[in-house]
């Protein structure tokens, strides 16, 4: 499928993701069911986009996090969208804000920066920054799903996340990271309610790991190699006759 990088594409994606869930509302014993109701969330009239450079956090990555305007009010739990950037936005692991700011160049964080972010439902958005060389243990791909998993757990521990509505998306290099993660972590342990790899290669193994997790892949037809491998992934994934839970 063709996914544009225009604002409309990412906003439609956010609206669709917010309707998906891998488990029941209120599954977190510390959060009342009424506090996970999407319709009960206060309108987002423009929230805060906060930079956390590497040395200012215990997380494995430096990151930008967007908190909707109502986040500081009632103790609602919010959906969490994790956006993995492309190769050109990688950092070097320093504490330099200008390096972290590269994650704002494309996709969802760019929409937030330009005040164009207006999904169907309010959500927390986190944009971690890859650092290290490609394939090293200091990234979300390269065979190291545990690294990204620790970061997701960090978000759950430090923010009011609706744990039944955690969504993973990424473009190009970040989309590869999505495939790496869903092909290594199982439905039961990944924390992910749905995944959307964009303009990335399709994983060639691990199809059964997340077979009950809704996955929607987007790639342009002229991106020949990624398009072909994505089609192969989708075909083999669907051959399992997964049972999506909405």
Give the pLDDT confidence of 180-195 residue by residue, as tens digits. 999 999 998 999 999 9
Does pLDDT of 138 surpass 80?
no
Residue position matching structure tokens 């103790």: 75
The predicted structure's pLDDT at residue 74: 76
- Name the nearest CA neighbour of 81 among 129, 181, 163, 14: 14
The predicted structure's pLDDT at residue 246: 44
Number of helices (H), then strands (E), in the chain = 6, 6
Report how far Cα 60 is from the mean position of its chain's Cα atoms.
16
Are 85 and 130 a contacting pair, CB within 8 Å?
A: yes
- pTM for the model stands at 0.86
- Which positions ≥6 away from 113 have C-beta within 8 Å? 49, 104
Provide Rg for the chain, Cα atoms: 17
**4's tokens:** 């544009």
What percent of the chain has pLDDT above 90?
A: 54
The predicted structure's pLDDT at residue 78: 95
pLDDT one-digit tens code per residue, 39-70: 899 999 999 999 999 888 899 899 999 999 99
The predicted structure's pLDDT at residue 7: 43
């Amino acid at each position: 499928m063709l996914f544009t990088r225009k604002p409309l594409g990412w906003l439609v994606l956010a609206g669709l993701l917010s309707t998906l869930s891998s488990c029941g509302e209120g599954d977190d014993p510390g959060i009342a069911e009424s506090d996970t109701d999407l319709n009960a969330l206060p309108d987002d009239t423009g929230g805060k986009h906060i930079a956390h450079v590497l040395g200012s956090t215990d997380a494995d990555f430096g990151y930008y996090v967007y908190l909707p305007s109502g986040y500081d009010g009632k103790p609602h739990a919010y959906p969490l969208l994790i956006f993995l950037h492309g190769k050109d936005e990688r950092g070097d692991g320093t504490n330099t804000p200008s390096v972290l700011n590269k994650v704002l160049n494309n996709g969802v964080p760019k929409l937030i920066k330009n005040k164009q972010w207006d999904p169907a439902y309010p959500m927390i958005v986190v944009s971690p920054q890859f650092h290290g060389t490609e394939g090293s243990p200091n990234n979300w791909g390269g065979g190291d799903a545990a690294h990204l998993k620790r970061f997701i757990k960090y978000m759950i521990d430090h923010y009011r996340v609706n744990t039944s509505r955690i969504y993973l998306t990424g473009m190009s290099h970040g989309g590869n990271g999505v495939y790496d993660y869903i092909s290594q972590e199982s439905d039961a342990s990944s924390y992910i309610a749905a995944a959307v790899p964009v303009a990335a290669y399709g994983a060639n193994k691990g199809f059964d790991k997340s077979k009950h997790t809704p996955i929607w892949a987007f790639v342009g037809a002229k991106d020949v190699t990624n398009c072909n491998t994505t089609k192969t992934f989708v075909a083999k994934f669907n051959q399992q006759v997964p049972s999506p839970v909405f």
